[in-house]
């Protein structure tokens, strides 16, 4: 690939839709100067399946419009053999009561493999489990034990192999995209006229992102708010 690219998992796009912030993507893409990609599995998760459920149809139509307008492009060259190989490796890396755990979904793994194949600038993903798997696999053991309240047994060799194959892929979240939109002034029309209107707006959009699906701690939100206000 001779141009810049970001690959999106389904989660960040859902978060932006639910936070009523999906409109920032065309502006961010223009500033980025590259492509925003989703894989076929992510396309199915965001558009094809939700269109069959009345509750989610309008959200799906919003994403479909982004594809139609060329803001999001479907990346068709996903190496499915590599996806299968890495998925098997990931889903055999942890076990509970002698049973292996499925910890990654097809859309997530397609996004990772495609981003690696094209040496993308970053993978955009909100889900904490997969981010830990990529960035800190041993921390993921603690997360799984907390989530399932059972002893989780890691396969160290497979963890190391999975981590080795995924080295060098930066991870960003929807909340970082929202922070970028704030810094670029895209959200300025929403600043209320009160003295601390800028602070109120930033807090509102960051917490909306968290509560609509982005896996980020309260402490991280507070830190990001302080950083962005200093930067602005």
Three-state secondary structure call for residue 154: strand
Q: Which residues of the chain have pLDDT under 70?
A: 1-3, 231-232
Chain position carrying tokens 């800028």: 198
pLDDT of residue 147: 76
pLDDT of residue 195: 84
Residues 6+ apart with CB under 8 A from 68: none
pLDDT of residue 21: 97
- 130/136 Cα distance (integer angstroms): 10
Q: What is the pTM of this model?
A: 0.89
Closest CA to 121 of 19, 33, 49, 210: 33
DSSP 102: -
pLDDT of residue 231: 67
pLDDT of residue 103: 80
Give the full edge-to-edge strand order of the sheet including 99-100.
99-100, 94-96, 153-154
Residues 6+ apart with CB under 8 A from 162: 86, 89, 90, 93, 133, 137
Q: What is the fold of 1-172?
A: Rossmann fold (3.40.50)
Three-state secondary structure call for residue 137: helix
| 124 φψ region: left (φ > 0), alpha (ψ -120 to 50), beta (else) | beta
DSSP 105: -
Could you tell me how many residues make up the chain?
A: 232
List, for residues 85-112, the tens digit of each pLDDT value: 888 888 888 888 888 888 887 778 899 9
Chain position carrying tokens 């690696």: 116
What is the DSSP annotation of 2-54?
A: -S-EEEE-HHHHHHHHHTT-TTHHHHHHHHHTSEEEE-HHHHIIIIITGGGSG
Domain boundaries, the chain: 1-172, 175-231
- 191/91 Cα distance (integer angstroms): 45
pLDDT of residue 30: 96
């Amino acid at each position: 690939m001779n141009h810049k690219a970001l690959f999106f998992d389904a989660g960040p796009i859902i978060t932006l839709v639910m936070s009523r912030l999906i409109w920032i993507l065309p502006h961010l893409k223009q500033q980025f100067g590259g492509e925003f990609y989703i894989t076929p599995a992510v396309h199915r998760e965001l558009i094809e399946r939700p269109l069959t459920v009345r509750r989610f149809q309008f959200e799906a139509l919003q994403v479909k419009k982004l594809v139609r307008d060329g803001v999001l492009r479907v990346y068709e060259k996903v190496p499915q053999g590599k996806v299968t190989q890495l998925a098997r490796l990931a889903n055999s890396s942890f076990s509970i009561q002698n049973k292996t755990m499925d910890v990654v979904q097809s859309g997530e793994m397609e996004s990772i493999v495609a981003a690696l194949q094209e040496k993308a600038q970053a993978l955009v993903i909100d889900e904490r489990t997969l981010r830990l798997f990529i960035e800190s696999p041993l921390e993921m053991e603690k997360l799984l034990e907390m989530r399932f309240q059972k002893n989780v047994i890691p396969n160290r060799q497979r963890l190391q192999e999975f981590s080795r194959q995924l080295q060098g892929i930066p991870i960003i979240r929807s909340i970082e995209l929202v922070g970028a939109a704030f810094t670029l002034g895209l959200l300025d029309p929403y600043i209320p006229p009160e003295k601390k209107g800028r602070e109120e707006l930033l807090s509102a959009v960051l917490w909306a992102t968290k509560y609509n699906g982005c896996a980020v701690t309260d402490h991280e939100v507070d830190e990001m708010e302080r950083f962005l206000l200093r930067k602005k």
